[in-house]
């Protein structure tokens, strides 16, 4: 990389760090092409981005951002992964690390809060944003369903009372006929 490419890379990464809410740092020593491709595919499916970056350039991009606390983790063969949904990228990283010994989650940052590997693992165990939204929608819809049932109940009760009254008073007339 020449200086211009390095500057562009640092500016691009700084823009990424300004936009995202969560960054995971992982050690990826010894991954072959097929394993990296599989990891990138999983990250992309979760809406995350995975990038192997030069530590010095990544440190320059981190300088002055809310993620500058992860700079000490950038030693050796490291990679960065980020996403707007923190749980999604954490789940993919922890899941891949569980199945592959060559990929180790070192830590990350959720906004200004620095996380170690156990913090990233704990974050990965939370429900994803989609699951939380679905649960919230279900809670919002439940009272509306109950209100509709309550409003329909008096009408149904009146109909049953009238039907019982008609059966009670209509039965002797049917026998007389």
CATH topology of domain 3-126: Alpha-Beta Plaits (3.30.70)
For the segment 114-172, what is each residue's pLDDT rounded down to a tens digit?
A: 888 888 888 888 776 677 778 777 777 777 666 666 666 676 677 777 777 778 776 55
Residue 144 is predicted with a pLDDT of: 66
Can you give the pTM of this predicted structure?
0.67
- Which residues fall within 8 angstroms of residue 117, CB to CB, at 6 or more apart? 104, 105, 106, 107
Residue 171 has a pLDDT of: 55
Residue 30 has pLDDT above 90, yes or no: no
Q: What are the distances in angstroms from CA 60 to CA 84, 97, 124? A: 22, 27, 28
Ranges of each domain in the chain: 3-126, 128-177
% of the chain with per-residue pLDDT over 70 = 86
Q: Cβ(59)–Cβ(12) under 8 Å?
A: no
Contact indicator for 102, 36 with CB cutoff of 8 Å: no
Per-residue pLDDT at 177: 45
> pLDDT category, 86, cuts 50, 70, 90?
confident
Q: Under a CB-based contact definition with an 8 Å cutoff, are residues 127 and 85 in contact?
A: no
d(CA 9, CA 135): 40
């Amino acid at each position: 990389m020449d200086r211009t490419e390095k500057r562009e890379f640092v500016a691009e990464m700084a823009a990424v760090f300004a936009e995202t809410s969560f960054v995971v740092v992982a050690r990826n020593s010894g991954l072959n092409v097929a394993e990296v491709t599989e990891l990138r595919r999983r990250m992309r499916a979760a809406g995350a981005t995975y990038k192997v970056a030069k530590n010095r350039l990544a440190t320059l991009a981190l300088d002055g951002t809310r993620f500058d606390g992860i700079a000490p983790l950038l030693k050796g063969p490291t990679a960065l992964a980020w996403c707007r949904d923190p749980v999604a990228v954490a789940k993919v990283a922890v899941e891949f690390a569980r199945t592959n010994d060559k990929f180790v989650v070192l830590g990350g940052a959720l906004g200004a809060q620095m996380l170690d590997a156990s913090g990233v693992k704990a974050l990965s165990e939370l429900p994803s944003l989609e699951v939380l939204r679905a649960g919230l929608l279900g809670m919002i819809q439940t009272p509306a369903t109950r209100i509709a049932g309550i409003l329909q109940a008096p009408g149904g009760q009146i109909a049953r009372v009238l039907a019982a009254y008609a059966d009670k008073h209509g039965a002797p007339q049917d026998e007389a006929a």
